[in-house]
């Protein structure tokens, strides 16, 4: 992948300071091409990045130590493709976020970033066979109409969504909450390998970053940001799934939810969303018709 000198400098910064683009706004205002990146004093970095002096000294030290590191070449050795926010492959919809990723790291088939429709399918890590049955009705029409299924490679509903896309010959993107040198959960290693081989995995975190409690809520905004609509299968009333829905609502995305039995705790989230105005879904054709009408 061809990168500009500005993009290479951004990779160097992002490796040691992996924050969203909005955190770099003041820096880009005064230095749009990052020409002075390796010459800033710690005090200047502290002011431009709004970080404590101790962190600024550490950042300056790390930048100078690694200023000659060819990050793009190192990533390429691991079949990782960095996509800076200025690159043509960077999804336009992510620019609409308040806090867009400064860099995406991709592994797999990059052409999936140029498709027409993206549908997020999310739900509980404890999703039951009810979610799997629902996906048998929702995913095939989406696949038939070339929608890309987006989810988070978590246990439960996420894994079911990716597996359904693969089973019906469709396309899928897995968005991770950690770097590509790690995998969470380990149980999805085989599924992750299949997605890398045939589909696409994305993350905003440099390869070395491990999964942390705070990285997954951040990941959720990318799932909703990429997508034209969000489908919720099963979810507790308070859960990571519902936080993704909140991001989606902030982005003006259509929310579809699978109605569930009132006796199930995992239907509490979807049923609440229905009460708040989400669209009930029982067939993927409902989404196809909505997207076709809106376009």
What are 43-76's pLDDT values in tens digits? 999 999 999 999 999 999 999 998 999 999 999 9
Task: Note the pLDDT tens digit of each residue in 143-183.
Answer: 999 999 999 999 999 999 999 999 999 999 999 999 999 99
Q: Residue 237's pLDDT is what?
A: 85
Q: Residue 228's pLDDT is what?
A: 94
Q: Residue 292's pLDDT is what?
A: 75
218 within 8 A of 94, measured Cβ to Cβ: no
Q: List all residues 6 or more positions away from 272 whose beta carbon is below 8 Å from its beta carbon.
A: 237
Q: Residue 245's pLDDT is what?
A: 87
* pLDDT < 50 positions in the chain: none
235 within 8 A of 266, measured Cβ to Cβ: yes
Report the SS3 class of residue 256.
strand
In DSSP terms, 108 is beta-bridged to: 200
């Amino acid at each position: 992948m061809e990168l500009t000198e500005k993009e290479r400098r951004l990779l160097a910064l992002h490796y040691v300071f992996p924050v969203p683009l909005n955190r770099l706004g003041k820096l880009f205002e005064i230095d749009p091409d990052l020409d002075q990146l390796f010459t800033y004093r710690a005090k200047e970095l502290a002011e431009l990045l709004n970080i404590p002096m101790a962190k600024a000294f550490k950042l300056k030290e790390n930048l100078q130590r690694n200023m000659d590191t060819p990050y793009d070449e190192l990533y390429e050795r691991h079949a990782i493709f960095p996509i800076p926010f200025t690159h043509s492959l960077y999804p336009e919809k992510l620019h609409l976020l308040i806090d867009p990723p400064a860099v995406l790291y991709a592994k797999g088939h990059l052409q999936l970033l140029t498709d027409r429709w993206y549908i997020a399918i999310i739900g509980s890590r404890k999703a039951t066979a009810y979610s799997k049955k629902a996906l048998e009705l929702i995913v095939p029409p989406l696949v038939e109409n070339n929608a890309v299924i987006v989810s988070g490679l978590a246990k439960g509903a996420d894994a079911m969504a990716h597996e359904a896309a693969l089973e019906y010959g469709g396309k899928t993107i897995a968005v991770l909450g950690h770097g590509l040198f790690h995998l969470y959960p380990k149980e999805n290693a085989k599924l992750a390998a299949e997605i890398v081989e045939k589909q696409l995995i994305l993350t905003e975190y440099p390869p070395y970053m491990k999964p942390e409690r705070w990285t997954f809520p951040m990941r959720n905004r990318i799932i909703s940001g990429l997508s034209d609509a969000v489908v919720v299968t099963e979810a507790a009333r308070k859960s990571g799934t519902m936080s993704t829905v909140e991001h989606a609502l902030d982005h003006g995305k259509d929310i579809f939810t699978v109605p569930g039995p009132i006796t199930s705790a995992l239907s509490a989230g979807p049923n609440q969303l229905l009460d708040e105005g989400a669209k009930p879904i029982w067939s993927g054709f409902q989404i196809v018709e909505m997207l076709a009408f809106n376009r």
